[in-house]
Amino acid sequence: MNDGSSNNPPLRVFLTGGSGFVGSHVIDQLIAAGHRVYALARSARSADYVASLGAETICGGLEDEDALTEGCRKSDVVIHAAARVDMTGSDEDFQRTTVDATRNIAQAAKGAGIKRFVHISSCGVYHPDLYKSGTTITEDTHTPEPPAWFPYGKFKHRAEQVVRDVAGDDLDYTILRLGYLFGPRNRAMQLYMLPAMTDSTMRIVGNGKNEIAVVYVIDVAEAIVKACTASGASRQTLILGGFEHVSQQEYYDAYADCFGIPRVKKKIPYPIAFYGAWLGEKVKHKKKIRETSVRRASVVLTGLPQRIDCSKSRAILDWQPTTTFEDGMKMTAEWYKEGAGS
């Protein structure tokens, strides 16, 4: 492997999740750097979208052995960015979409002799107790598996272990844990956050001063591309986080301004929010936004301090995020004003 410098020959990259928030920006960065991208696409709509970004399409899903084998055999590097980003769902669904899907693509990569497998994970794998204790998390921080009531984190944690198990001594890999992403193309914020902020569902948890580990999506995409070749990233679990201390209140204020709606003023103490979410999990809700908001996992991710130091990862990747939260949110607001990319 090389050091990721601009003198390296072009790569052939097989990407999953190319039509998603992170994956689409990764395609942009790869194409801009002169690499060839093969993107897995489950639907015709996804295929059209990734093609519009400059990728070549491999039709199929993460359960499709032939499609995975084809994509891996054509490529030097695999980036597995497909993800289920949800606070709700059955264990069976999370197992299939997060763990089994990761095993499928990792095994295909290993069988094809891929030079590096880059697995996109999340800082959601850290146990809530680490955040609650105020621990500053680094690449060397050990975390037990998150609790059963946090299925997203629990199954992302298991998917990471699948990568290590499948890799053995034969597949070079890098696991990247992403911080709290923001930026253009984040349709989930418009689908879920906007309704919650306009129908009085949203509350500031605690006093709103706790840190949110924000990082701009395009900065992250640049780091993901660097991880494809950086020699020091081999068999490492790295963190891609930002460089600012943005509070929960500042985070929600910025999104309210972005959407052009009143800022969230109502607050709820953390213990009450957590207990209320526990009760809420026992109720069947008619609206997805309500079901998501009354989850202990949602309370943890918004109400606890996210203190992350990823200095080691930045040094290994020779990467430094440069986009401020203020500037990034301005660009995000422009994207929403343009019709959310429609």
pLDDT in tens, 7-44: 678 999 999 999 999 999 999 999 999 999 999 999 99
**What is the rounded distance in angstroms from the CA atom of residue 6 to the CA atom of residue 33?**
8
**Span 12-182+214-243+307-322: which CATH code?**
3.40.50.720
Domain assignments of the chain as residue spans, ordered by start? 12-182+214-243+307-322
pLDDT digits 0-9 by tens, 84-94: 877 777 899 99
pLDDT digits (tens, 9 = 90+) for 155-211: 999 999 999 999 999 999 999 999 999 999 998 888 888 888 888 778 999 999 999
SS3 256: helix
Distance CA 187, CA 52 (A): 18
Q: Are 192 and 198 in contact (CB under 8 A)?
A: no
> How much is the pLDDT for 287?
58
Query: Which tokens in the block code for residue 151?
Result: 């299925």
Q: Identify the bridge partners of residue 173 per DSSP, sorted by sequence position.
A: 117
Q: What is the pLDDT of residue 4?
A: 44
Burial 76-90 (b: 16+ CB within 10 A, else e): bbbbbbbbbebbbee
- 195 vs 51 pLDDT, higher one: 51
The whole-angstrom separation of Cα 201 and Cα 264 is: 10
